[in-house]
Amino acid sequence: MHRELVERELTSVGPRRSAGVGRHRRSVTVNLAESPLGWLHAHGHLEDRLFEAGERLRSDYERAQLGPNVTMRWDPVRIKGTGDQGLTQSERQLAARQRFDGALAQAGKGLEDILWRVVCAGETLPTAEKALSWPARSGKLVLKLALDRVADFYRIG
């Protein structure tokens, strides 16, 4: 996993110690390259199976090129006999799109939003909960339910 560590000072909004007379400036090290899903897994909130399901879904999302992109294609020239079982770029993209759509269908109606926001768009759970007008701290439970269904789709044991 790629790491991009930076020091961030905690603001008055963030956690701080109330003990002590004076104000103490505190900072934390943050990995900017870590996804919200990776953070949940690293801190023990997601089991390996659910994390792998989320990573597979994100991978299919990226392979299907469903996110915003530039108009110029920067793919390397394909050499005969290499790649995914001889599939063209378009065929690989279509297969990833079918897997992505199938995984979201397996998750069920109403769970696609949390999957897309956290897994594909990289939103944090509080941000996704707010955007979906959900109660605070409800997103983790719903995300786990959705990822469990996605893990079944990808046949992750």
Number of domains the chain contains: 1
Q: What is the pTM of this model?
A: 0.72
Residue 93 belongs to what domain range? 35-153
The answer to whether residue 146 is domain-embedded is yes
> Does the residue 121 lie in any domain?
yes
**Is 72 among the domain residues?**
yes
Beta bridge partners of 27: 9
CA distance 129 to 135: 7
**15 within some domain:** no
Sign of the torsion angle spanned by Cα atoms 81, 87, 88, 89: negative
In a domain, 3, yes or no: no
18 located within any domain? no
In a domain, 14, yes or no: no
* pLDDT, tens digit only, all 157 positions of the chain: 567 777 777 655 444 444 445 556 777 676 666 789 998 998 899 999 999 999 999 999 988 888 766 666 565 555 555 455 677 888 888 999 999 999 999 999 999 999 999 999 999 999 999 999 999 999 999 999 999 999 999 999 8
